[in-house]
């Protein structure tokens, strides 16, 4: 077992349908008839909060799920269809008290003004526990829903070419601009802009609402927001990073990056690239958390999780044979490392990877609710025993849980400077 450094770690869980394995909806414990009900998601959130987890992320997209990450498929033996992740998080927020709620937004096709007020509203509804994961799309079928622009033709599984690198730089540059607009809109109301003085009839101080006047290559936003500054000042912004361009986005624009290392060497290399880019972006003194993603299949008995994964593969293979008389494509693959084992063995792996400098882990349960319960009732107690995880919630906001300060309002500082200059 790796040496215990007693440094507390952060834990997140990524929720998606019946679990991350495509055949998980056929497991005995699965609840496929409830995937589109509020109770299903509320029960998962309650279990995660019982385990004192830092945050939940909710997957989302603008097209039906597909085994091909770059194009639709016609499969009917997989979970297809989703609820809107921001609305799911907003429904869960009043039913939870501590855990962070981080929905996903596909940013190229959604307006930053609309998204900023939706996430600000989530922060109010949750009393300061909101975040947002920005997701890039390069799928033509998603662009076709909107008709305003064509999707960039990107396949990250193909070799890099000068054109591909230029397109990647342009697309991720746009996402960085998008996040900048979100942050400016969240700051466009000063914290004390609301007066609420019935005696004088003044509800708001209009001088403390600010135009953001952002202009970029693909959109411009004047502001201000119609929603007051969120309780956290700025909700957490997260992103998934697999290579240089998203590493740079994380370093420049995110509070939290999810990476997908398969080995400690992978983790060190990704961390080094993110930290170098963070320094180059002038954020060397800021905390940017980097979590490793792991797909997990857990059981208390050694070997049982691997047996369960093999059973899920057989279900997937039988479904494909029934449809296509074709046994290919049954083996489950993921961008993240797939772990099968006991909670204690997973704790060993987490400690090994944490020694590289990672500050936390986002776990993708292979099957829900089964693997989530093994995380909260098996892994969490094991990490607590090792002194690597909290035994109680220590903060009331997501920023507090992650040890991040509440940002100062950029426009308040500008307004104060202008007022001082006017009196001189």
DSSP code per residue over 10-58: EEEEEE-TT-SSTTGGGSTT--GGGTTSHHHHHHHHHHHHHTT-SEEEE
Q: Please enumerate, by residue number, every residue annotated as part of a binding site.
A: 60, 104
Mean pLDDT, residues 348-358 taken together: 98
Tokens of 93: 């927020």
The model's confidence at residue 158, banded by pLDDT at 50, 70 and 90, is: confident
Mean pLDDT, residues 363-384 taken together: 98
Q: Please enumerate, by residue number, every residue annotated as part of a binding site for FMN.
A: 60, 104
| Per-residue confidence (pLDDT) for residue 394, from 0 to 100 | 96
pTM value > 0.75:
yes
Distance CA 360, CA 294 (A): 11
| Per-residue confidence (pLDDT) for residue 206, from 0 to 100 | 95
Distance CA 379, CA 337 (A): 17
- Interval 73-114: pLDDT, tens: 888 889 999 999 999 999 999 999 999 999 999 987 889 999
The model's confidence at residue 261, banded by pLDDT at 50, 70 and 90, is: very high
Distance CA 82, CA 92 (A): 16
3-state secondary structure (DSSP) of residue 62: coil
Q: Are residues 348 and 1 in contact, defined by beta-carbon separation less than 8 angstroms?
A: yes
Please tell me what DSSP assigns to residue 130.
B
CATH number for the domain formed by residue range(s) 10-423: 3.20.20.30
| Per-residue confidence (pLDDT) for residue 2, from 0 to 100 | 38
Mean pLDDT (the chain) is 91
The model's confidence at residue 323, banded by pLDDT at 50, 70 and 90, is: low
Confidence check: pLDDT of 46 > 90: yes
């Amino acid at each position: 077992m790796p040496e215990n450094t007693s440094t507390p770690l952060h834990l997140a869980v990524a929720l998606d349908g019946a679990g991350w394995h495509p055949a998980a909806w056929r497991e005995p414990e699965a609840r496929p008839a409830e995937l589109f009900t509020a109770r299903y998601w509320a029960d998962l959130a309650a279990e995660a909060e019982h385990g004192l987890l830092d945050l939940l992320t909710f997957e989302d997209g603008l097209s039906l799920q597909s085994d091909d990450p770059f194009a639709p498929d016609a499969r009917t033996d997989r979970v297809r269809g989703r609820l809107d992740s921001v609305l799911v998080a907003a429904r869960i927020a009043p039913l939870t008290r501590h855990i962070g709620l981080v929905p996903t937004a596909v940013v190229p096709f959604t307006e930053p003004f609309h998204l900023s007020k939706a996430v600000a509203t989530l922060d109010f509804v949750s009393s300061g526990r909101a975040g947002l994961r920005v997701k890039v799309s390069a799928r033509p079928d998603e662009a076709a829903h909107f008709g305003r622009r064509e999707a960039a033709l990107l396949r990250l599984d193909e070799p890099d070419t000068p054109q591909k690198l230029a397109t990647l730089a342009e697309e991720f540059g746009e996402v960085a601009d998008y996040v900048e607009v979100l942050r400016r809109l969240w700051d466009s109301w000063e914290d004390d802009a609301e007066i609420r003085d019935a005696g004088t009839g003044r509800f708001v101080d209009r001088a403390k609402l600010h135009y953001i006047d952002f202009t970029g290559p693909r959109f411009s936003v004047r502001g201000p927001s119609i929603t007051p500054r969120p309780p956290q000042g700025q909700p957490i912004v997260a992103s998934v990073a697999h290579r240089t361009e998203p590493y740079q986005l994380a370093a420049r624009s995110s509070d939290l990056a999810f990476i997908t290392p398969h080995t400690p060497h992978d983790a060190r290399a990704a961390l080094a690239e993110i930290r170098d880019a963070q320094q180059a972006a002038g954020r060397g003194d800021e905390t940017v958390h980097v979590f490793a993603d792991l797909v997990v299949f857990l059981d208390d008995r050694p070997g049982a999780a691997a047996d369960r994964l093999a059973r899920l593969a057989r279900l997937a293979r039988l479904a494909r044979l029934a449809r296509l008389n074709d046994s290919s494509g049954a083996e489950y693959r993921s961008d993240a490392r797939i772990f099968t084992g006991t909670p204690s063995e997973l704790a060993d792996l987490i400690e090994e990877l944490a020694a590289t400098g990672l500050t936390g882990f986002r776990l993708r349960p292979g099957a829900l609710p089964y693997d989530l319960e093994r995380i909260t009732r098996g892994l969490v107690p094991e990490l607590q025993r090792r002194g690597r995880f909290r035994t109680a919630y220590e903060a009331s906001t997501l920023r507090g849980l992650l040890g991040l300060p509440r940002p100062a309002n950029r426009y308040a500082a500008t307004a104060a400077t202008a007022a001082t200059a006017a009196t001189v």
